[in-house]
A and B are shown apart, each in its own frame.
Chain A
Amino acid sequence: MGDIGRAGREGAPPFVVLEGITKRFPGVVANDDVSLELRPGEVHALIGENGAGKSTLMRILYGMYPADSGRIVIRGEEVRIHSPRDAIARGIGMVHQHFVLVDPFTVAENVILGDEGGAVLQHDESERKVKELADTYGFQIDPHATVEDLSVGEEQRVEILKALYRGVEILILDEPTAVLTPAETSDLFENLRRLRADGKSIVFISHKLDEVLEIADRITVLRRGAVVGETTPAATSKAKLAEMMVGRPVLFRLERPEVEIGEPVLRLEDLTGGRLHGLSLDVRAGEIVGVAGVEGNGQRDLADVVMGLRPLESGRILLDGEDLASRSTAEIRNAGLGFVPEDRHEQGLVLGMTLWENLLLGRQDDPPFVKRGILSLRTIKDLARKLVRLFDVRARSVDVTAGALSGGNQQKLILARELETDPKLLLAAQPTRGLDVGAIEFVWSQILEQKAAGRGVLLISAELDEIYALSDRILTLYEGTITGEYPPSAPAEEVGRGMLGDVAVRGVG
C-alpha cells in the first residue's frame, strides 16, 4: 500500500525526513518505526484516528518530546531537536489545536514574543513588521488589535504569523479546522495555498476526510502508531481513507430503524436567553431531530437552557406538556431528560472521580442509591458494574478514575449513565466530537436505539455527516433561531443555506 501515491513532487529534495521514529509512553507505543518525508511546496496531510500517533509524531519533530529511537534529517543533515526553540531555529513551526496566545497582548506582541529583537521593545517597529508580513501572505489582521477581541479564525492567523515571523519553512497545523466555521475554513485553505505557492511545506493533521481530500497533495495514514500507507487525493477516496484509518471497511450510513413517529415529547416555545432569540422546535416520540448549524450560533446555549444550566429570559420548555423553564437541573433530569454534553470534561464527567461515582452523577437524589442523605455503596457499585459491562466501557474495575479512560470510553460512560434512566428525551450535543471511527459507530447506534425504543432525541451537531446519518428531520440553527426545516433527503446545499440564515421552511415529506 505504501507505494500508491509517490506522485507528489518528486523533483524537489525533501526538507525533512523522519526515519524509523519510535516513541513509547508508559504502556503505550505512540509511534512505532514511523518514516515520513516532507517536501517543499506541498500540503502533506497526516490522518488517523485519535490516538493513532499523529500529534505525538509532530510534537517529536517540534521538539516537545524526545523520540526513543529514529533519525530526523533536515536538508540532508541529521539533527537532534531538543525543544520548540530548536525546532523554530531549524525552520519548523507548529500551530496547536488549542491556540496558545496571550489574551491581553496585542497581535504584534504575541507575534514577537520570544523574538523581540532587543532588550527594549520597539512597538511601532514590530507592528510595522507584523503588518508587512501579514500583507505578504494576504492575511487580514490588525497588528494593533488585542487578541481577546479577535475571532477564532483571526486568532489562528496570529498563530500562523507567529511561525512565519520566525521564518519557518515547515508549518505543522494540528487539527486546524476543528474550531473554524466553513467560511473561516475556506479562508484558511486560501492562505495555505498561498503559503504552498511560496514553497513552504505544510503538515495538515486532521481526521476530516473531505477537507484532507480538498487541500492535501499527499496523504499519510497512521494507525496505532504506525504508517499504514501513503497516497494522494487523486488515487484514493473517502471510503478508502477511512478503511485505512480503522483497518476495516466502515459503514458511514447506519440503517435507521422503522419506527412510528408519535406525539411530541419535547416542545420548545420561543426560547430567548443568551444567544437564543425566539427559538421554537419540537421533538416527537421515536424521532431524531438534528439541529445543524455553524458553531457559535447558540448550540451551547440551547443545550444549557434546556438543561437548566443557563437562565432563560422568556419562553417555555415543555416535556410531555410539563413546563420545565425555570426549574433546576435536578428537576429537569428527574422529569425525564438525558444529556450528552458537547464538552465531556467540562460538563459530563468528573475526571478525578471513579467510574461508579461518575455513574451516580445525576442520580444522587434517587432513593435506591442515596437514602436519607447517605450513599448505598453496594447498590451503586452493582449498578456501575452492570452498566460498564453493558456499554462495553473498557476499564479494569469501576474503581479506576474516569480520567484514565480514552475519549471513546469516556463517552460510553456518559451514554451508559444517561440512557440507564430511560429518559423520555435524549439531548445529545456534539456526541461524537473528538472520537475515533469505532467509537462514533457505537454512539450512533446507541442514539438510533433510543429512536427504536420510541423515545425522542434532540441531536445538536456541527457535523453534517452525523446530522444526515441519524436525523428524521433536520433543523438549521442560525444566530439563535431556527431558520429552516428539511427532510433528510434534502440536498446538503439547501441545508447549508439554512445554516447561513436563509429562511426557507419546507414541509417534511
Chain B
Amino acid sequence: MSKLGFAISIAFTYFTIIYLTGLGGLFSERSGIVNIGLEGLMIIGTVTGSFGAYYFGAKLGWGVPAGPLMGLLLGLACGAAFASIHALATVTFKIDHIVSGVVINLVAVGLARFLSTVFFGQATQSDPGQPHLHVISIPLLSSIPAFGRAFQGLSPFVLFPFLVVFPVWWILNRTRWGLRLRSAGENPEATRSLGVAVAPLRWEGVLISGAFAGLAGAFLSVEIVNNWREGQTLGLGFIALAALILSNWNPIRLMGAAFLFGFAQAIPLALRDWPVIRSIPEQFVNMTPYVVTIVVLAGFIGKVRPPAAAGKAYEGTTT
C-alpha cells in the first residue's frame, strides 16, 4: 500500500501543475479568450523560474526560502508578460484565438532556448546548484499507516492550490469584478452596453492566465526538477486544458479533474510493479487524460458548456 501512497504524493505534484495552469486557462476563457497557449506560457515559467531561483538563491546567495520564492515570482511575472502577446493579439487586434495560441506555443520553445542562452549560456538546460524550498510532511496525515507516504516529503507549494481555490471561487462569483469578467465571457455586448469596457477585463483575464501558467511552470522547474531542461513540460499545458474542459470551467471541479489527471501521470512512475498496471503499456496510461476528455466532449458521459462568447472576437465599436 505504501506504493499507492507514493503514487499519491507524485499525483499531488502533477495536480499542482495541472491545477494552477488550468486555473490560468479558466480566468482567460471565462473572460472570453480561448487560450491554447497554456503550454507555451508554462514553458516560459519554467526557464525564468529556474533562472530566478538560481540567480537569487545561489548567485546572490539569498538562499532558502527567498531564492526559490523569487524563482516562483519571476516565473509568474514572466508568464504574465508573455501572455500579454496573446492579449494584444486577441483582445486588442481581435485575431483568431486559436492562431494566436498556436503561435504562443511555437514561439515559447524558441524564446525559452533564447532566454536559456542568455541566462545560462546554453540553450537546453540550466546551471546546477539551484535551491528549492525545504520539503515538508503534513502533520497527522503523514502518519497514517500505509498511506502516510502520500503526505511526506512534499514541496510546501503543493498546498498553494488549496489556499487559492476558495478565494478564486469567491472572486469569480461574489465580486463585482468576477461578475463583469464572466459577463464578458458570456455576452460582451451586454457588458459593454451597460458601460463596462470589455477589453480591460479580457486583458486582465489573459494576464492572470499567464501568471498562473508561469507560476505552474516555475513550480515544476524550481521545486520538482530543481533544474531547467528543454521539453520538461511534457504537454502538461494541454492536459491542463483537458482538465479545464472536464471541470466545466469551474474552479472547484477543476480540483477533481486535475487530481484525476495528475494521478494518471503518476501511475506509470509509481505503480509500475502492480500486476494490473504491468499488463497495460505505460503509453496507454499516459493517454488517459486525452481519451477521457474526448469521451466527455463527445457527450458519451456528462456534458460541458463552455463560456458562450469564448473564442469569438468581440467587434464592439471603439468609441
* Contact flag (A, B; Cβ within 8 A): yes
- A residues engaging B (CB < 8 A)? 63-66, 82-85, 88, 94, 96, 100-105, 109-110, 113-116, 118-121, 162
The 9 closest A-B pairs by CB, nearest first: A85-B195, A114-B194, A100-B190, A116-B176, A100-B189, A114-B196, A102-B186, A102-B187, A102-B183
Q: How far is the CA of A101 from the CA of B187 in the complex (A)?
A: 7
Q: How far is the CB of B186 from chain A (nearest CB, A)?
A: 5
- Closest Cβ of chain B to A117, distance in Å, is 8
Q: Is the CB of A113 within 8 A of B308?
A: no
CB of B92 within 8 Å of the partner chain: no
Q: Give the complex CA separation of A70 and B171 in angstroms.
A: 44
Residues of B close to A96: CB separation below 8 A: 193
Residues of B within 8 A of A83 (CB): 195, 319
Given A64-B319, A102-B187, CB of A84 within 8 Å of CB of B174: no
Using a CB–CB cutoff of 8 Å, the interface residues on chain B facing chain A are 174-177, 179-180, 182-183, 186-187, 189-196, 308, 317, 319
Known: A100-B189, A105-B183, A114-B180. A82 touches B319 (CB 8 A): yes
Q: Let me know if B196 and A113 touch, CB within 8 A.
A: yes
Contact of B319 among A65, A109, A121, A162 (CB under 8 A): A65
Residue of A82, A85, A118 most packed against chain B (CB within 10 A): A85
Contact of A121 among B175, B192, B193, B317 (CB under 8 A): B175
Q: In the complex, are the beta carbons of B179 and A84 less than 8 A apart?
A: no
Q: Tell whether, in the assembled complex, residue B176 and residue A109 are in contact, meaning their CB atoms are under 8 Å apart.
A: no
Asked if A115 contacts B179 (CB within 8 A), the reply is: no
In the bound assembly, the distance between CA atoms of A205 and B317 in angstroms comes to 22
Chain B residues lying within 8 Å of A65, measured Cβ to Cβ, are 317, 319
A-B contact pairs, 16 of them (CB 8 A): A63-B319, A84-B192, A85-B194, A100-B187, A100-B190, A102-B182, A102-B187, A103-B187, A104-B186, A105-B183, A114-B191, A115-B194, A119-B176, A119-B177, A120-B174, A120-B176
**Bound CA–CA A85/B186 (angstroms):** 20
Inter-subunit contact A116/B194 (CB<8 Å): no
Interchain CB contact under 8 A, B175 and A119: yes
Bound: A404/B319 CA distance, A? 24
How far, in angstroms, from A82 to B318 measured CA to CA in the complex?
11
Q: Give the CA-CA distance A82 to B197 in the complex, in Å.
A: 13
Question: A116 near B195 (CB under 8 angstroms)?
Answer: no
Residue from the set A65, A66, A116 with the largest chain B CB neighbour count within 10 Å? A116
Q: Report yes or no: B190 in contact with A113, Cβ–Cβ below 8 A.
A: yes
If A113-B190, A118-B176 are given as contacts, then 12 extra A-B residue pairs at C-beta distance below 8 Å, sorted by A number, are A63-B319, A84-B192, A84-B195, A88-B194, A100-B190, A102-B182, A102-B191, A103-B308, A114-B191, A119-B176, A121-B176, A162-B194
Residues of chain B lying within 8 A (CB to CB) of residue A114:
180, 191, 194-196
Bound complex: CA A109 to CA B180 (Å): 10
Contact A88 B183 (CB under 8 A): no
CA A162 to CA B186, docked complex, whole Å: 17
Docked complex Cα distance between A103 and B174 (Å): 18
B192 and A102 contact, CB distance less than 8 A:
no
| A120 near B175: Cβ-Cβ < 8 Å | yes
Give Cα A64–Cα B190 distance, bound, in whole angstroms. 13
How many angstroms between the C-alpha atoms of A344 and B180 in the bound complex?
Answer: 34
Query: Would you give the shortest CB distance from A49 to chain B, in whole angstroms?
Result: 23
Which B residues are CB-close (under 8 A) to A113? 179-180, 183, 190-191, 194, 196
- Are the CB atoms of B179 and A109 closer together than 8 Å? yes
Q: With a CB–CB cut-off of 8 A, which chain A residues contact B174? A: 120-121
